[in-house]
Amino acid sequence: MKYRIEISSVAEAEAVGAFLNLSQLTSPVTANQWHGGLLEAIGSLSVMPTRCSLARENKYFSQEIRQLLYGRGHTSYRILFTILEIGEVQTVRILHVRHSSQQSIGENPEEPDTA
């Protein structure tokens, strides 16, 4: 089964921000390669998106939140998404593109993790 991919404006802005940041830290060529790979990774979610693990944010939301890891080291990002059924169309909605070192969405920074 093929899933339709839909990217939220927030996720798109986060990806562009990451690209701009990377182009300042490395080179435009490296940043373009990273961005192309990111789009390819997102596109791969059109097939078997449930292969990806639940995101740590999953416990904060009523909808299932999954993540696809992309990149390595300082270019490691988490692509956060949910799977929706809109009518007869299965859709993967990309919610966020976040650096792997960023705090979880929904997590209170003043409360220690008790897990």
List, in order of start, the domains of the chain with CATH numbers: 4-99 (3.30.2310.20)
Q: pLDDT tens across 63-73, in order?
A: 999 999 999 88
For residue 68, which of 86, 92, 34 has the smallest C-alpha distance?
92
76 vs 86: CA distance, rounded Å:
31
**In this model, does residue 17 exceed pLDDT 80?**
yes
Residue with tokens 């802005």: 13
**In this model, does residue 107 exceed pLDDT 90?**
no
Cα distances (angstroms) measured from residue 42 to each of 37, 49, 59: 9, 10, 23
**47 is written with which tokens?**
């097939």
CA angle 84, 109, 111 (to 5 degrees): 105
**pTM (two decimals):** 0.87
DSSP H helix total and E strand total for the chain: 2, 4
The number of beta carbons lying within 10 Å of the beta carbon of residue 52 is 18
